[in-house]
Amino acid sequence: MSAAGEIRAGMGGWTFEPWEGTFYPDKLAKAKQLRHAAGQVKTIEVNGTYYSTFKPETFAKWAADAPDGFVFSLKAIRFSTNRRVLAEAGESVQRFLDSGVAELGDKLGPILWQFAPTKKFDAADFEGFLKVLPAKQAGVSLRHALEVRHDSFNVPEFVALARKHGAAIVYAHHAAYPEIADVTGDFVYARLQRGSDDNANCYPERELDGWALRAKEWAAGGQPGDLPYADASVTAAKKKRDVFVYFITEGKSRAPFGAMALQKRVDS
């Protein structure tokens, strides 16, 4: 058994015009972009599933285009999370999962449940939502990641709820959203959103070195001492964890290069 979990670095999506001729070879057909991207990074966070419902055949094609060991994280459909009463999301959650996500098989990574910046923490309602998240879909195990964007979630009660239900709180390196680094699941999900197109690798080299060290610590079961915690009084069980790190939004033109640079560091 290895001493740490698997660390995978990636970016959001694979269709982005500025990547053509930079990340992608000149004149590479769009139909071949996913295959190329999946050969360069170990994971991709799919944003399109937040806005639209896809068919089983589409998920199956994505799986076929990606190599063994690659995983897709899927952003869950917005209708599941953009609602006043989260506890009533069960039907929407199941409709999303029934759309064919299990076709990805062992290439299905975490499901990302993203909440609006205006959504405030209500313990009873949020637990109602966590209770409707299934552990499996068509025989495929599911891992759930929670991305909250309102400061009211930055409390020990939210951390306790996420840990109780085995869901991972997304650590967001973002200028406006709360940074909650508490480890609550059996994997770690980080979204690095302060990159810049002025940096060849999205983040400055020294900062990439720091994120590589943090990713390795997470994978080995630790909690980096230089990140903010909502409940610093509780330390997560020390066990190896898979780690997913995504370069998102800011500095998108250079995001794939940031992912590749970080992957090189953690693999060395």
Q: Note down pLDDT in tens along the chain; length 268 residues.
A: 356 799 999 999 999 999 999 999 999 999 999 999 999 999 999 999 999 999 999 999 999 999 999 999 999 999 999 999 999 999 999 999 999 999 999 999 999 999 999 999 999 999 999 999 999 999 999 999 999 999 999 999 999 999 999 999 999 999 999 999 999 999 999 999 999 999 999 999 999 999 999 999 999 999 999 999 999 999 899 999 999 999 998 889 999 999 999 999 999 8
The answer to the question of residue 57 being in a domain is: yes
The answer to the question of residue 84 being in a domain is: yes
Strands in the chain per DSSP E: 7-12, 43-46, 71-75, 108-114, 136-137, 140-141, 144-147, 168-169, 171-173, 187-192, 242-247
> 3-class SS at 243?
strand
The answer to the question of residue 235 being in a domain is: yes
> 3-class SS at 162?
helix
Residues 5/243, Cβ–Cβ less than 8 Å: yes
The answer to the question of residue 74 being in a domain is: yes
When divided into structural domains, the chain yields a total of 1
Q: For helices 123-131 and 156-164, give the axis angle rounded to 10 degrees.
A: 20
The rounded distance, in Å, linking the Cα atoms of 33 and 46 is 14
The answer to the question of residue 76 being in a domain is: yes
The answer to the question of residue 1 being in a domain is: no
The rounded distance, in Å, linking the Cα atoms of 48 and 173 is 22
Q: Residue 243 belongs to what domain range?
A: 7-267
Please report, for the domain that includes residue 134, its CATH number: 3.20.20.410
